[in-house]
Structure formats: C-alpha cells, structure tokens
Structure 1
Amino acid sequence: MNNLERRVRAHIIHRLRDNYSAPDADDIAVALGVSPDMVVAALRALADAHRLALLPGSDRVWMIHPFSAVATDFVVRAAGRRWYANCVWDGLAILGFVGDGTLETHTPHWNDLTRFHVVNGRVSGDDIIHFLVPARRFWDDIGFT
C-alpha cells in the first residue's frame, strides 16, 4: 500500500466513523488535494488488495472494514451514534474502535432481533455468534460473507 492509498483509506474510515457516509472520489480528491483520477486508481488498488470493496460496477465504496457504506442488518450503536457493519465480526470491530455499545441484528433462521453488548471490551448477550465462512475464505465472496 503506497502513501496515497493509505491516505485514501484513512480518509474513508474517518469519514464513516465521523459522518456515517463514505465520500466519493471527488470528495476524497478535494480533501487530499489530489486529482479524482489518482483517487480512483487508489480505490481500485485498495480493492485489488482487499483493503476495501467497491460497489459492483462502480468506483464507490461498498465496505471498508469494519464499516459498511450501505445500510445493513448489522447496526452498531454507541454514544448516541449509529453505524452499519458488514457482519457480526465487523460490528464487534466497530465497537472495539468507538467504545462501549450495542450490536443489533436478526437471527438468520427466525429473523428475531438479537443484541450483543460490549462494555469494557467484553461481549455479552443471550445468543451465540456463529461464523459460517472461515476467515481465510471471506474474500471468495465478500458480499455473502
């Protein structure tokens, strides 16, 4: 990852953390003082390196771990704020990033609401977390994972 790619990635993560939405290439270019073409090249390189995922057929950010740039069923709440995660794993990672809070989602079979709470780095809740896809296979189909 080169310096521009690092700066682009950091800018997107901070923007999602602070504003809940991912910037587009033009916004990133203005913020970093570079051309939109340079940003698009950096986004594509980051996607190729599995540092983020672009919405299929576009140069817009879909997910940049642990954040989702689109609404999902994995809702993280902390300090009166809300973010979307891509999965339970990412939801817990967001809470590791922002502090104590709650991850809400629905059980896949019955669609019941379930919550996991993180306080002082410890996870609690009445349900279990099952990772269907082993971590080494996540990028085989990151949208499904």
Structure 2
Amino acid sequence: MDEHDLQLRRALLEAFAAGAPLPEADYRSLAAQHVVALDDDGRVLMAHPFANHTAGARVDCGGRTWWGNCAWDAFGIVAALGLQDATITAQGVTLPRDGDAVFGVLVPASHWWDDIAFT
C-alpha cells in the first residue's frame, strides 16, 4: 500500500469513527487490496470494521451508533474505538455484555472475499 492509499484509508476510517461524511475519493485501489468493498456505483459499502449501511450489526455507546457488516465487525468497532459499555445488536439480538458471546461463521475465512457483503 503506497502513501496515498494509507492516507486515504486513514481519512476514511477517521470519518467512520467520527460519524462524519466519507471523503470524496477514488477508492478502487483500496478495493483491489481488499481494504474496502464498493457498491455497484463505486461508493464505499464497507471499510472494515465499519459499514456504510444499516443492514448489519449495530454498535451503540454513549449516545452514538456505528454499523458493522456483521457481529465480527461490531466487535472490531468496539475494540478499535476502545468503547466501554457498548451494546452490540446483530440480527435483532442484543449480545450480552457479561460472560462469553459465541457466534458462528459458516464461511471459511479464505472465502470471505468471494462475496464479502454476504459473509
């Protein structure tokens, strides 16, 4: 990844974290490197762990909401932002804050990018 791509990735992730509009940019290079997933119009659909849609897992904390594509991404948001007392809701189920949470991933990691929006 070159310096331009690193700066663009940083700006994109900072915008997601802050709840700000995403930078206007050409993200094809990041998509080719599996850093982001683009929709059919070339807009950022996902920049892991963040999602630019509300069909996945929701993270709520301190009156703010972030979205991940799945529960795995929601855990990544909590870790990346250092959130305390966050609530994760995935597929209509609020995951417990105490104890262990277990969920299954039916697709092997080596095939996630075959259809990353589904996985």
Aligned ranges 1:46-65 → 2 under 5 Å: 46-56=30-40, 58-65=41-48
Compute the TM-score of the two structures, normalised by the length of structure 2: 0.88
Rate the CA distance shift 1:123–1:137 in 2: closer, same or farther, 3 A: farther
Give the C-alpha shift of residue 23 in structure 1.
3.0
Give ranges in structure 1 of 5+ residues lacking alignment: 26-39, 107-112
Structure 1 runs of 4+ aligned residues shifted over 6 Å read none
SS at match of 1:62: strand
Q: Which residue of 1 aligns with 2:88?
A: 103
Deviations 1:34-81 (A, max 9, x none): xxxxxx2xx11110110111112x221110000001112311112221
Rate the CA distance shift 1:92–1:63 in 2: closer, same or farther, 3 A: same
- CA distance in 2 between counterparts of 1:18 and 1:48 reads 25
1:115 matched to 2:99? The reply is no
- CA distance in 1 between counterparts of 2:66 and 2:22 reads 11
Q: Give the number of the structure whose alpha-carbon radius of gyration is greater.
A: 1
Q: Which residue of 2 aligns with 1:141?
A: 115
Aligned ranges 1:1-145 → 2 under 5 Å: 1-19=1-19, 21-25=21-25, 40=26, 43-56=27-40, 58-98=41-81, 99-100=83-84, 101-106=86-91, 113-118=92-97, 124=100, 128-145=102-119
Give ranges in structure 2 of 5+ residues lacking alignment: none
CA contact (8 A) 1:20 1:69 kept: no
Rate the CA distance shift 1:78–1:11 in 2: closer, same or farther, 3 A: same
CA contact (8 A) 1:55 1:61 kept: yes
Q: Which residue of 2 aligns with 1:36?
A: none
Sequence identity of aligned pairs in percent?
A: 31
**Number of paired residues?**
117
Higher RCO, 1 vs 2 (CA within 8 Å, ≥6 residues apart): 2
Rate the CA distance shift 1:85–1:143 in 2: closer, same or farther, 3 A: same
Give the C-alpha shift of residue 117 in structure 1.
4.4
- CA distance in 2 between counterparts of 1:75 and 1:54 reads 20
Task: Specify which structure has the higher proportion of helix.
Answer: 1
